[in-house]
Structure 1
Amino acid sequence: MKRFLAVLVVALLLMPTTGFAVTQEELMQKIQELSQQLQQLKKQMEDLQNQQLQQQADVMDAKESAKEVSKKFSWLTIGGDYRFRLDSLKGKVHEHVGYDRNQTANFNYAMPTATPGVYAVPYSTAVDSYTAKNDTLFLNRFALNVKAQVTENIQVKSRILMYKAWGNDYVDQSPFFADRYVIMDGNLGHVPQDNTLRVDYAYATWSNIFDLPVWFSIGRRPSTGGVPSNIRQNREKVGTAGVPALLVDYAFDGLTLGVAPEIDKLEGAYAKICYGKGMDTGFRPDNDRMKDVQMIGINVVPYDTENLHIEFQWQKAFSIFAYPGNSDPFGLGVDNKNIGDIDWWGTVVTGRIEDIGPGDLNLFASAALSKTHPNDNGYEAPFYDVYIDSNANGRADSGDTLYMQNQTAKYGLLYDDPNFGGEKKSHTGNAIYLGMRYDIKKTGTKIGLEWNRGSKYWLAFTPAADDLWTSKLATRGDVYEAYIIQELPETPIAKFGKAFFRLGYQYYKFKYTGSGFWLGEPRKIDDLNQTDALATQLLKPVKNAQDIYLTFDVMF
């Protein structure tokens, strides 16, 4: 700066006096003012540099603090998801003879008994065919996931869930299908109810036990949304804790003991044995009439990679209940009973073929069998009154003598009361589930098609399935589904950040009654009429149904 001032003074002295008519004192004053201004500028520059250095130091401190916080809480992972859903539902109920919940004897359906002149008059009523619909059903679902790495080999995972309709604290499901009409421990949080947060799963896992490839896990299990149903939901498969969706979509409490040996030719292979309790029936001897409902299963996965997954499972339910819980969901005051056992066998194969055109192709196939082992118990509903033909006109009418009221008929494990033409026997059912999804990488668009079929005696264990009418995988008939997923091109900030829209269409074509229900003989829906009281239906027989749905999912 001194050099600059000297040059400036020389330049001023050399200027012609005619062009610079100032005194020497004024010139020196100007030079001093300019020097002061330069000093101020220098100070401002130094202050600015100091501020920049301080900011850099603050940033470094913040980064170090963030690292410390991250390190301190690295054992804890928090995530979750929010989903808005819009459904337009429409279904056709077939004509039938329905159960009159007012328990009014209908003489039009009077049936002669083995005793001459004595008639059983059932609580039956003729129901015309009609269309049931809900044009716009709006739903909110929110879930919060927490994972805690407690020690090197022990972790706890949990998920809490809220699922409700807009503008109400319940969804009118009507008595169409038991897995929606009946709220049970296995579908809490998965069927729209109120704004209560419920525990979907919460369990602890101990891995690498004694430095062996063995794990033990206990708690409320992650036994919903299993493979391959995760594909249409645009979610990753659960992993070694998951289940085949065609066999199980039911939130239950239990434990697992598993092993994952390293076998070169069987990449990712593992196997596990599972135990669960489907219902605790309370103290003895106060409730000697019922045993606890127990479940066991064996799951074997010989191959598990990103592009190929093969899985086999056998499971058995012992002493299955007539209905879940302690209170009759149909409001008839019927005592609960153990009605038999059920076996299931199933398999699922999923695969991905990469780089077919502009995207990847996901394929899957799943198949299962169910076999019932009924006992003599059943759901013994008040079904008829007994009348004596006192006016001797050869039929029962209101002028006859009422002999007995509220006589029961039994709905057993897939059989009707033998006193009304039913037969107690074991039944085997089967189901198949096929599908594909094509993922276009550049646009984030995913297009899927699915089809599944269940036989007359197919009995699923899937009340927590992500469907509105009923679990499609429990259907005794066919279900077709097409959907398109569009992921949003947003840069994720959250660890699991992702958002997408899903537009889909489901069409149910029911062939037999009682999809997803274990009480009573399934009836061919086309054969139902308004005259056969022996085919009285406790639930409304839907012949076909459709659901047009749109979801907006945000995961974090």
Structure 2
Amino acid sequence: MKKIITLSVLAFFTTTMYAADDSVQTEIDGLKAQLTAQDAKIAKLEKKQEHNIKKISHVNELANNDNLKFKADLRTAYDYISYKTANGKETSNGLFSNRLWLNMAYAPTKHLSFYSTLAYYKLYGQTIGANHGFNYNDAYVNETANPSDELRVKEAFWLYKNDTFLSMDIPWTASIGRRPSTDGLLVNYREDQRAKSAIGHDINIEFDGASFLYQLENVTNVPGMSLKFCLGRGMSDAYSRASNVTANSNGTYSFNNNQNYTKVSGFNDNTDLYGVLFKPYDDGQYSLHTLWFKAFNLPGMVKTTTANEYNFKQTGDIEGGAASFVADGIGDGISDMLDDSVVFASFAYSKTHPGATSMLGSKNAQTGTSVYVGANWPCQLIDNARVGIEYNHGSKYWRSLTYGEDTLAGSKLAVRGDAYEAFFNKELIGHKLTAQIRYTYMDYKYNGSNAFFGDAGTPTAVNGDDVKTAQDIRAYIRYRY
């Protein structure tokens, strides 16, 4: 009987164990099926995610690379300008203007980009007796408030960049076209925008040419060290199309022997410029910037035998240079205001090399110098605002290339004398809508500060009807997006 009971118990437990094994196996098989289904779902989701990533990349490519990306910059300004002569005569005027920049960018690959800016700068309404002459000089046409409403090409260039140069760890860029050479370093603070190519102390003009930049930090272990070469052409020695037709003063026309696009009679050659920008040091807070350039066959007004009559001729060459120190933040953690303050100091020189005619009224080489200092800091009374002050002094023969400076009363950095400036920049709606109030005062010691390079630029002492002081009070609202 005991044996029968024992066998029965063993049979029961054995059956139960086998049943349990079957149940566990069923559960395992179910879990495997679920995992297989989950794996399929995950694979499907991964495939969908991969598709979405490609789609997003394509959208980004369309937005930033394969299609032009536009930005708008519209500034409406009011300028009150006034002049006072050495003998006390005063004249003044108030002017409204609109300036529009349409910025475009295109990057088909990670190495190659295209940039362009179309510009429109116009006084309100029509001016009386508008003279379309030097007002349309190519070197500063987009920094001049003209009486008409053309949309011009301010910048247009392609940019190639790479992380290595001839297998060396030297990031570099190459660019050709109409380069961004206005509102450069130092000048950019008063203009409330990022600095462009050149140092604004002595070069602030548009030009067509090329540039090549080499970042040397990785091979020298000096923070921010770089070397840049620039080439440009300011004037092509060529007749324009249909130059064989001459308009006579009586309304008739005459024909001459000039041939389209051939060299112009009486001119030496093209007006060219080359320069070198070397940045010895830049750690993000303290930086030193240097520039040297030489320009050839510069034009100017040359006296004739008739009083107050000049011929427009090429007069000779000029060289120049600048060394500029910038502190973007004073000290380290002294105060929030000092951490966000900017101080700069710059020294520049110019030297003429006359050709067959005189330059700046002299047939001998003449050297001029200029000092430019400034500071700007967060306003302590109003949020999202900055205050700035600047001063510059130019010697008797100082000669800058700053026709593109946007000061209606004349370039302050070209002054042979002293210039003082204060500005207040305010963000109204972030950096998308901003405002500025700016006051510029120029005290001339010598004439010809912003003239061309011939006799009209002779630095004679200011007297009589010569302009002694000039002022420009500007207020603007600017939209950028």
What TM-score comes out, normalization by structure 2 length?
A: 0.74
CA–CA distance in structure 2, aligned partners of residues 473 and 363 of structure 1: 17
Question: Match for 1:519: what amino acid?
Answer: G
Distance apart, 1:137 and its partner CA: 0.8
CA–CA distance in 1 between the matches of 2:321 and 2:264? Answer: 36
What SS class does the counterpart of residue 290 from structure 1 fall into?
A: coil
Q: How do 1:120-199 residues align onto structure 2 when only pairs under 5 Å count?
A: 129-134=88-93, 136-168=94-126, 182-193=135-146, 194-199=148-153
Encode CA deviations 1:302-328: one digit per residue, 9 max, x unaligned.
Answer: 22344223111110011112269xxxx
The aligned amino acid for 2:76 is F
Query: What does residue range 44-123 of structure 1 map to in structure 2 within 5 Å?
Result: 68-75=58-65, 76-95=68-87
Q: Does 1:247 align with 2:202?
A: yes
In structure 2, what is the equivalent of residue 314 of structure 1? 292
Distance (Å, rounded) in 2 between the aligned partners of 1:356 and 1:469: 39
1:304-362 Cα shifts (integer Å, max 9, x gaps):
344223111110011112269xxxxxxx9965432111010111121122655442211
Q: Which residue of 1 aligns with 2:176?
A: 218
1: distance between equivalents of 2:103 and 2:85? 39
Once residues 388 and 129 of structure 2 are traced to their aligned partners in structure 1, the CA distance between those partners, rounded to angstroms, is 28
CA 1:483–1:173 in structure 2 vs 1: closer, same or farther (change >3 Å)?
Answer: farther
Letter in 2 for 1:206: Y
Matches within 5 A, 1:291-440: 291-322=269-300, 335-353=311-329, 357-359=335-337, 360-377=340-357, 412-415=358-361, 423-440=362-379
The higher relative CO (CA closer than 8 Å, separation ≥ 6) is in: 1
The count of residues paired between Structure 1 and Structure 2 equals 389
Q: What is the SS of the residue equivalent to 1:337?
A: strand
Q: Deviations over 1:271-311 (max 9, x none)?
A: 01111111101155653643111111111012234422311
Hey, what's the Cα distance between the residues in 2 that align with 1:304 and 1:81? 29
Counterpart of 1:231 in structure 2 is 189
State whether structure 2 residue 415 is matched by structure 1 residue 475.
yes
Q: Runs in 1 of length 4+ with deviation above 4 angstroms?
A: 61-68, 169-174, 209-212, 283-286, 332-335
**Alpha-carbon contact 1:171-1:192 (below 8 Å) kept:** no
TM-score normalised by L of structure 1: 0.65
* 1:548 corresponds to which of 459, 473, 481: 473
The SS at the match of 2:449 is: coil
Equivalent-residue separation in structure 2 for 1:461 and 1:365 (angstroms) = 19
Distance 2:401 2:128 in 1: 23
Cross-structure match for 1:513:
447
Report the AA paired with residue 522 of structure 1: P
> CA 1:488–1:256 in 2, change beyond 3 Å: closer, same or farther?
same
Answer yes or no: is the 8 Å Cα contact 1:374–1:424 preserved in 2. yes
- Calculate percent identity across the aligned residue pairs: 29
Contact 2:73 2:102 in 1 (8 A): yes
Q: CA RMSD in A?
A: 2.9
Query: Post-superposition shift, 1:166?
Result: 1.0
Which residue identity lines up with residue 272 of structure 1 in the other structure? K
In structure 1, the partner of 2:47 is none
- Cα distance, 1:285–1:350 mapped onto 2, change above 3 Å: closer
1:259 corresponds, among 199, 203, 214, to 214
Q: Match of 2:377, SS? A: strand
Alignment check: 8 A CA contact 2:83 2:91 kept: yes
- 1:219 and 1:203 map into 2 onto residues whose CA distance is 4
CA-to-partner distance for each residue in 1:25-68, whole Å, 9 max, x for gaps?
Answer: xxxxxxxxxxxxxxxxxxxxxxxxxxxxxxxxxxxx99997775
Contact 1:281 1:287 in 2 (8 A): no
Q: Distance in 2 between matches of 1:235 and 1:214?
A: 24
Residues 92 and 66 of structure 1, relative CA distance in 2, 3 Å threshold? same
**One-letter code of the match for 1:257?**
F
Output the amino acid matched with 1:142.
L
Which whole-Å CA distance do the structure 1 matches of 2:119 and 2:301 have between them? 24
Bigger Rg over Cα: 1
Query: How far apart, CA to CA, are the structure 1 residues paired with 2:318 and 2:52?
Result: 60
Cα deviation, 1:420-456, whole Å, max 9, x if unaligned, reads xxx5211100001100001248811101010001111
Contact 1:164/1:170 (8 A) holds in 2:
no
Query: Shift of residue 548 of structure 1?
Result: 1.5
CA distance in 2, matches of 1:173, 1:233: 28
Partner of 1:203: 157
Judging changes above 3 Å, is the alpha-carbon distance between structure 1 residues 147 and 333 closer, same or farther for their aligned structure 2 residues? farther
CA distance in 2, matches of 1:173, 1:509: 28
Residues 437 and 145 (structure 1), Cα distance of their counterparts in 2 relative to 1, 3 Å cut: same
The alpha-carbon deviation at position 146 of structure 1 amounts to 1.0
Q: Deviations over 1:462-505 (max 9, x none)?
A: 10002111111001111111111111244xxxxxx522111121
CA contact (8 A) 1:347 1:367 kept: yes
Give the 5 Å matches for 1:478-489. 478-489=418-429
Residues 71/375 of structure 1: CA separation in 2 closer, same or farther (3 Å cut): closer
**Aligned-partner residue type, residue 293 of structure 1:** T
Residues in 2 aligned to 1:554 and 1:348: alpha-carbon distance in whole angstroms:
30
| Corresponding position of 2:9 | none
Q: Counterpart of 1:73 in 2: which secondary structure?
A: helix
